[in-house]
Every structure is written in C-alpha cells, then in structure tokens.
Amino acid sequence: MDNDKKLIDEFITCLRVEKGVSENTVGAYRRDLQKFGAHTFGLGKSLLTIERNDLILAISAMRSERSSDATVVRFVSTLKGFYRFLLSEGYTKTDPTVYLEGRKSWQTLPRFLSPEQVESILQQPDLNNDLGVRDRTMLELLYATGLRVSELVGLRIGDLDLDMGVLNCFGKGSKERRVPIGRSAVDFLHLYLTARVRLLSDASSDKLFVDREGRRISRQKFWKLIKEYGRLAGIEEVTPHMLRHSFATVLLSNGADLRSVQMMLGHSDISTTQIYTHVTDDQIKSAYRKFHPRS
C-alpha cells in the first residue's frame, strides 16, 4: 500500500510540474487513483500487479452504482495516463489499460449485482400474502435461470417440470430450450402454486404468473416490481436484465463452461456470452464454492 501511495504521488507531481495540470484536475486524478488503489488492495494486489480483468471489474462496479458516463470516462482516462507514466518510468512492462481503447469497450459491459445485493432484493417481498409469494418466486426463478423478462412472464404452467427441476422456455425466434431451475426456486414454485389457486379464485389461466384478476403479469409490471424491491433494498435502478447478467456472471466466475452458459441464456452466438468473461476474476472465483449460491 505504501508503494502504491509513492507511485501515485510521483504521478501527481509529474502532472503538476511537467504537465501544468490544474489543481481541480489533479485532485480528481488523485481521488480516482486512491479509490482504485483501495480496490486493488481489497483484491490482495497492488497497482503494479493488477490485471485487465481487475480494471473491468472496477468499471462494471461503477456502472452498477450508476456512475455517470462522464465519471467513468474520467476514471478510465486517469488510469490510462497513470499506467503510461509507470511504463515511461520503468516501473512496469505491461499496461493493463490497453483493452480500454474507448468508451464502447466499457459501455457494453453488463451491469450485474453481487450475491449479497441479490439476497437483499430477494428478502423484500412480503411472504405473508399471496402477491408477495408470487413476487419472491418470480425473483427466485429469474436469478436461478437467467431468463429474459419476456420469457419469465410468458411461462405457462405446462412449461414446468418440478420433479426434474427444469423448465421449457421459448426465447427469441420461438426457439425452445430446457433450463435447470435449482432447489430454492423449485421450493418457492411449490409454495406459489398453492398461492396461485387463491389468486385466481374463480378465474382460469394457463399462464404461470398472474394477478388477482387472473391476468398474466406484464413485462412493464414486473419492471416496476423489481425496481421497487431494489429501492427497498437500497439499490437504485435495478432491472430484470441485471439479474440475468448476475446469473451468467456468477456461473462463469465459479468455473461453468461458456457453452453451457450460452445454452442456458439462449444466445445463438457464443460471442454474445463471451462478454461475461470480462467481468470475472480470481477474487470472485475464490468467493464461491458452488456454481450458483441458490442451486
């Protein structure tokens, strides 16, 4: 940590003396580097030993925290300038920022939630009423399967095979795939199916998730629900797609092979799935003992 501070101080001195950078800019650069230094220290690394994926993870975390594009652009600019300085001074022979060639390289990174954040959101629905049981089941199933929100709300009773722990899903282009569900989601589905009978009352529907009038839950309705549960958990701007991203990230972080994750997500091209490999690193891998915390 002391060596990191020394390197930051030398870079700041260079900015002041040789570059003539304003004090406001110098202060912003110092804050960015100190924040990133703390991040690398938390990974058990230093500013000289971090790798590309550490940078990607830090930027993904900023985007999940809803940092503005301007803030991320400045952060990336700071890191690129810092590592160019370290190269020129002979402190390092590699530049981990080479991958960050422009805004497009990090804007396309998926925003995902940590397992702790997901757990906090899952705890928000009130299980003392049938609507709360329905909402908890939808959240559990989304995180357990990585379904698109349109696929989730489109599920029918007949798509479930709870004895086998799988469901049939019709994705983009009406392509059918079978997706494992996981024990926790199966348990909540059993609980919800009893609550669903009460919700339907005298109505009938083949749709899995319904309201009190027997109508299926719309995408817009579920977006509002998950956003509200995120707010209650203290996490702003949560979307259904973030749970899909979190599902893929946690699987790959724990060693699941890319092809299996591609099939579960319903990606026609594996290059679409490969973006998740940019947000995994050794720190995450060591944090989990299983492929999925709720499997």
**Cα separation, 77 vs 112, whole angstroms:** 23
**Residue 102 confidence (pLDDT):** 55
- pLDDT the model gives residue 283: 39
Domains 2-107 and 115-285 share a fold: no
Known catalytic membership, residue 172 = yes
| DSSP at 207 | B
Does 29 qualify as catalytic in the annotation?
no
pTM of the model: 0.61
Lowest mean pLDDT of 1-10, 19-28, 50-59, 286-295, name the range: 286-295
Which is the catalytic residue, given 30, 80, 227, 241? Answer: 241
- The answer on pLDDT for 277 being more than 80 is no
- For residues 83 and 97, what is the distance between their CA atoms, to the nearest angstrom? 7
CATH of domain 2-107: 1.10.150.130
Of these residues, 5, 19, 172, 190, which one is catalytic? 172
Residue range 115-285, CATH number? 1.10.443.10
Known catalytic residue: 267?
Answer: yes
Give the three-state DSSP class for 260: helix
Alpha carbon distance 209, 240 (integer Å)? 15
pLDDT of residue 245: 84
Question: Is 276 labeled as catalytic in the residue annotation?
Answer: yes
pLDDT at 284 over 70: no
Mean pLDDT of 217-233: 92
Average pLDDT score over residue span 168-194 = 88
Q: Which of 148, 245, 278, 292 does the annotation list as catalytic?
A: 148
Active site residue 207: no
Per-residue pLDDT at 108: 55
**99-149: per-residue pLDDT in tens?**
665 555 555 566 788 889 999 999 999 999 999 999 999 999 999 998 988
User: What's residue 136's pLDDT?
Assistant: 97
**Active-site residue, 245 included:** no
The encoded tokens of residue 127 equal: 């299980």
Segment (H or E) for 199: helix 183-200
Rounded mean pLDDT, 239-266 = 83
Q: Which of 63, 111, 244, 294 is catalytic?
A: 244
Least confident of 161-165, 258-262, 264-268, 284-288: 284-288
Per-residue pLDDT at 141: 95
The pLDDT of residue 287: 43
Q: Which of 16-20, 166-170, 269-273 has the highest mean pLDDT?
A: 166-170
- Domain coordinates of the chain in residue numbers? 2-107, 115-285
- Choice among 134, 196, 245, 267 that is catalytic: 267
Residue tagged active-site, from 29, 192, 276, 292: 276
**Amino acid identity for residue 87 in this structure:** L
Euclidean distance between CA atoms 51 and 97, whole angstroms: 9
